[in-house]
Chain A
């Protein structure tokens, strides 16, 4: 046997054995020593443990993602932790102290934040009219005020999340938002499954097309189904579609992490207790935000608006002041009566009465900064009783001649100076009709006019030729003037209701016999009457007389003096009676 081993003490021969021994030593000695070493290692438990310990960490790292390894380690680790805590909890407490502290703080902070948010929301809505209505609603429905506030400021809120075993409809896990009112979650879960089955079977839709949403008033139920479990959320308000993605993520994560537990589910929901955070991630809510603090842009805009308002206000006030001044000016203007003033149709409007003699309101407006386009004046005519206006009105109505002066005082219009008889007559008729004139006094005017006419008449002298009742040539103008004055005197008499006696008295010079001069003088008077052509009237009594040379005009003896005495003089006197008469 080629591979038979022969030991040195087997009783075989000397030298050859030594040689054989040497050869054997050379050939199998190393392997034999290795075998012996291995045997020793196998027999030495401590050595074996050291070697396993050396490779164990790497082996665990290599299989870190293996669920089998996790399952295998779960029990011993649990036992080890339990035993360690039971024996001496301090090391474990020390070890988890760095994480348990922050975790507790986070939980407390989250609770406080939620409480503060609710408190803030309640405070924000506690002093308004809306808050009063909500308080009434809270009293009526028996809900806490904070809950009513939340419901009214809610855009949407996921109130409940159900994780339901798809086949049995049994509840695996349930999460709810703080204030949400919850019926028995297990029964709701089962009933939801029943309704889902009912809809699916009734309408014979494929299983993948099962009921995925329900709408009941402001509540809606969204269903997201996985192969073994269903995630259902109950939402108040209108949730965004992005929430679907959150649900899908949650149901996928649940199937990933709890796939085996779902398959093995026999009614014990304990394994799904740790799935609660996945459900709570779906408890999202969004509220109507309170107005955020104004940004710089908003402040700027508000400033511009305020500035604009200020400028507008300033201009408006200035315009108002100008308008007020204009109206005051109108009110103080004689002949204008302001009845109303204000704005209408974006324009200033002033209405009132205006005497035609008053200043034009438009002219007054032009003296102000106001634009004529912005002002509407509505003026009705009237006659002011202001003395100056009455006088002016009388001046316009009577149009007195330059020699006539009108004055007005205490309702009496007075005329002075001189005027024609026709003007006096017209004035007497018109003046009482002038507004503001209660009486017309022309006594002065009549007297002076009459006096002037009388003076002119009596100053007139018609000269005659020697020894004959013939007018000296060149006296036509004088004759006409005398005729006009006599007619004026007649008109005056008619105007004032008086009658005047006019005597044309003929004269001669002292030459010749008195007996002859007397008839000559009378003939001269008759000739003068013929020349002037004036006939007696109702108010003019014309008399003819001759006095010969008894009333000489000039006492000299010259021919010029004698010529001045050969004349006809005119004498005017007022008769007591207004009845006209004519005498020869």
Chain B
């Protein structure tokens, strides 16, 4: 069995915790988010016949990446960059977080999560900015934590990318 640490990154109130809640059953309270600044959950998947356990580090919503949160990224095999489709500024925050995360964990797989797909009519995200970010090697997945749409796919996509990355590292 393979374990992988992944981090949930994104601006304040983009829906990171809601996405994780859609994906796993937590044993730790959400109060950890506001006290320690991170909440950890676990989800086991089978991807390509390989059993994988994801340790999800739901890092407290931030618009500025701080020292404490950076340390939570160490040893991460990948991360989800969550953007609120209805708030343009969250894309800029995601871009900054991506840059900052890269300094800590290097070139690891990540997936851009365009959340709140159920409010697509209210989207304000700049498509060009989104694709510019995606050009750095990430897939964009539209999700709705409210309906659950795209959530499972997001984690599967990141897991596949991480496992592929592991294969490339070994080759």
Binding site for B on A (CB under 8 A): 165-171, 183-184, 186-187, 190-191, 194-195, 197-198, 200-202, 266-270
Contacts and interface: CB of A to CB of B under 8 A. Distances in A.
B57 A190 contact: yes
- For this complex, into which size category does the number of interface residues on chain B fall? 20 to 34
Interface string B109-134: 00000000000000000000000000
A116 to B, nearest CB: 35
B17 to A, nearest CB: 15
Nearest to B53: A186
Given A202-B68, A266-B166, A266-B169, A190 B77 contact: no
Max chain A Cβ within 10 angstroms of own Cβ: one of B3, B52, B72: B3
Interface stretch (B8-16, B33-41, B88-96): B33-41
B87 interface: no
Interface in B38-77: 38, 40-42, 52-53, 55, 57, 67-68, 71-72, 74-77
Contacts of B22: none
B36 A186 contact: no
B74 A197 contact: yes
A170 B3 contact: yes
Contacts of B76: 168
Nearest to B76: A168
**SS of B interface (majority):** mixed
A183 B40 CA distance: 13
Contacts of B27: 183-184, 187
B35 to A, nearest CB: 9
27 contacts: A166-B75, A167-B74, A168-B75, A168-B76, A169-B5, A169-B55, A170-B4, A170-B55, A170-B75, A183-B27, A186-B53, A186-B55, A187-B28, A191-B32, A197-B68, A197-B72, A198-B37, A198-B68, A198-B71, A201-B67, A266-B77, A267-B2, A267-B3, A267-B5, A267-B52, A268-B2, A269-B3
Interface of B: 1-5, 27-28, 32, 36-38, 40-42, 52-53, 55, 57, 67-68, 71-72, 74-77, 166, 169
A423 to B, nearest CB: 117
B69 to A, nearest CB: 9
Contacts of A190: 5, 40, 55, 57
Nearest to B4: A267
A3 B108 CA distance: 68
Contacts of A171: 3
Given A183-B27, A184-B42, A195 B2 contact: no
Contacts of B52: 267
Contact of B5 (A170, A201, A202): A170
